[in-house]
Amino acid sequence: MSVKVFINGKLLPKEQAVVNVYDHGLLYGDGVFEGIRVYSKNVFLLKEHVERLYESAKAIRLEIPMTPEAMTKAVQETVAANGIVDGYVRLVVTRGAGALGLDIRKTSDPQVIVIADTITLYPDELYEKGMAIITASTIRNHPGALSARIKSLNYLNNILAKIEGTDAGCAEALMLNHKGEVAECTGDNIFLVKNGVLKTPGPDAGILEGITRNAVMQLAREAGITVQECTLIRHDVYVADELFLTGTAAEVIPVVKIDGRVIGAGTPGPITQDLRQRFKKFARGEK
Ligand code: PXG
C-alpha cells in the first residue's frame, strides 16, 4: 500500500503529494515543522507538538490556514489512514509559493503537510552501551539572529554541526552557544547528572525547548530527583557523573564519552537508566 500524505486537506498517494518549486519553504527554508512519535497508534504528546508548531509559525509571522483542532484531526487521520502502529509523524507548514524574493507579502497558499511513516532509530547497542559524541566547532545560532525556540525549516546550523559529528564517527554532536556555554545537540537536548542532581541548560541558553526534555524533567521531579535548569559549560559536562540526550527520535539515550573523555564509569548511569525506563512507560501510556 502506498504511503498517503495529507496535503492541504487531502490525503494523496505520496507520489502526488508535491509542492511548487517557487515555495519559499524550498527557496528560503521559510516554514516550520514538528517531528512526533506514534506509540501503539497513539500520537505522543500531540497537543504539545501542535502548540509548538503554532508558536513557531507565529514567531515567523506565518499564518497556518487551519485551526489547531483541525491540525490535530489531520494528524490522527493520516496516522490511521497509513495503519501506523509505532512510527513517526512529520508536520510541515511552508510559507507557500511566491515571487523570487524574500517578501512574504508576495507569497500565497501556505502548504500544510502531514507525513506518517516509520522512523529510523539509533541502534539498540547505543542504548545499552551508551554513545560517544564530540563538541562541534559550529556554535548554535545566536538567539538574536534566529531563536532556537523556533523549529524552522532552516536546519543548516544543526546540519553543519552534525557533519562534524559524523566525520568524527559520532551520531550526535554537542553545540555550544555564542557565549561558549552548553546549549544542545543537533537534534537532541542534553542533560547531566552530578551528585544526584539532574541539570540541563535553560531556554535562555538558546535551545529548542524539547518536548521530550520537558517530559523527562517532569518524570524526574515525580521520581524525587532534583532538577535544575542552569548555565553549564563544557567543564561541567566533562566532570559529570552521567550524561544523556533526549529527543523525539532518540527518547532517552545515554552518552558515555565526549571529546574522547570518559563520562563517569564509562557505562550508562543509574539515574539515566531509571529515567529511560520511566520515559518508555510514560510513552506507552503505562504511567
Ligand atoms: N533540539 C533540536 C535542535 C531538535 O531539532 C530536539 C532538541 C528535541 O526536541 P523534542 O521536542 O523532539 O524532544 C530537537 C528535535 C528529525 C527529527 O527527523 C528531529 C527532531 C525531532 C524529531 C525528528 O531529524 N529534533
**Is 151 annotated in the active site?**
yes
248 lines ligand 1 (CB under 6 A): yes
pLDDT of the residue at 121: 82
Q: What is the whole-number distance in angstroms between the Cα of residue 212 and the centre of ligand 1?
A: 9
Single out the catalytic residue among 4, 106, 151, 194: 151
Q: How confident is the model at residue 287 (pLDDT cuts 50, 70, 90)?
A: low
pLDDT of the residue at 218: 98
Q: What is the whole-number distance in angstroms between the Cα of residue 53 and the centre of ligand 1?
A: 13
91 lines ligand 1 (CB under 6 A): no
Q: Which of 42, 32, 46 is nearest to 215 (CA)?
A: 46
Domains 4-117 and 124-283 share a fold: no
Mean residue pLDDT across the chain:
97
Q: If you average pLDDT over residues 15-44, what whole number do you get?
A: 97
Give CA torsion, residues 212, 214, 216, 222, to 10 deg.
Answer: -150
Domain boundaries defined on the chain: 4-117, 124-283
Decide if pLDDT at 141 tops 90. yes
pLDDT of the residue at 253: 98
Q: How confident is the model at residue 100 (pLDDT cuts 50, 70, 90)?
A: very high
35 lines ligand 1 (CB under 6 A): yes
Cell of 4: 498517503
pLDDT of the residue at 1: 67
Q: How confident is the model at residue 255 (pLDDT cuts 50, 70, 90)?
A: very high
> What is the homologous superfamily of the domain 124-283 according to CATH?
D-amino Acid Aminotransferase, subunit A, domain 2 (3.20.10.10)
CATH number for 4-117 (one of 3.30.470.10, 3.40.50.720, 3.40.50.300, 3.30.70.980): it is: 3.30.470.10
Decide if pLDDT at 120 tops 90. no
189 lines ligand 1 (CB under 6 A): yes
Residue-wise pLDDT for 180-226, tens only, equals 999 999 999 999 999 999 999 999 999 999 999 999 999 999 999 99
Protein residue with its CA nearest to atom 3 in ligand 1: 187
Q: What is the whole-number distance in angstroms between the Cα of residue 186 and the centre of ligand 1?
A: 8
Decide if pLDDT at 286 tops 90. no
Residue-wise pLDDT for 63-88, tens only, equals 999 999 999 999 999 999 999 999 99
Protein residue with its CA nearest to atom 10 in ligand 1: 210
